[in-house]
Amino acid sequence: MSIYQNIISTIQQSTYKLTPQRETILKILVDNVNEHLSAEELYFILKEVNPDIGLATVYRTLDIFYELKILEKITFGNGIAKYHLRQTFNNSMHHHLICTRCHNIDTISNPIFTKLIKYVNSEYGFEVQDNTIAIHGICEECKNNEDLNNEIR
């Protein structure tokens, strides 16, 4: 069963209805499985497919998908929430490198995270959400630009 079909059944088994709007939004999320889309970014893509769907519907749908544990939702650094299919559906275990300069998000996988998650769970009783370890800093590109600017000065 495809990711898409898998999620469709999740929605159908919930108390929420599977509307054309929700299907369209889901398609965009599946097509952009490697991106971390904000509501506005998704809305922008959506406009090309179907200009009649409102931004409020996008927000409401993302909320519902989050509630159904289809999506992760994290606000990374600049106050804009970004959404991403959860591990259960996209089958990829990864974490995030978030640049505080350009707000770009890179993904990262490493066995060290598994240890960290176990430690935090046993020591603090803290249940780590999947894919939600965020490391804030400055990405290579921004650091290079910074060095360049310093040279010019």
Which positions touch a copy of itself (CB under 8 A)?
74-81, 97, 100, 106, 108, 110, 112-113, 115-116, 119-120, 124-129, 132-140, 143
Q: Which does 111 bind (CB under 5 to 8 A by kind): a copy of itself, DNA, none?
A: none
Q: Measure CA of the first residue to CA of the last residue in the chain; give whole Å.
A: 57
Q: Which is nearer to DNA, 55 or 148 (CB)?
A: 55
Closest CA to 133 of 113, 110, 106, 103: 113
Q: Which is nearer to a copy of itself, 8 or 134 (CB)?
A: 134
CA distance to 5, 85, 140, per residue, from 89 (Å)? 10, 6, 30
Q: Is 72 exposed, middle or buried (0-12, 13-18, 19+ CB in 10 A)?
A: buried
SS3 assignment, position 84: strand
Q: How far is the CB of 87 from a copy of itself (least distance, A)?
A: 13
Q: Judged by CB under 7 A, which of 56, 125, 149, 152 binds DNA?
A: 56
Which residues are near DNA by CB under 7 A?
Answer: 15-22, 38-40, 52-57, 59-61, 63, 75, 79-81
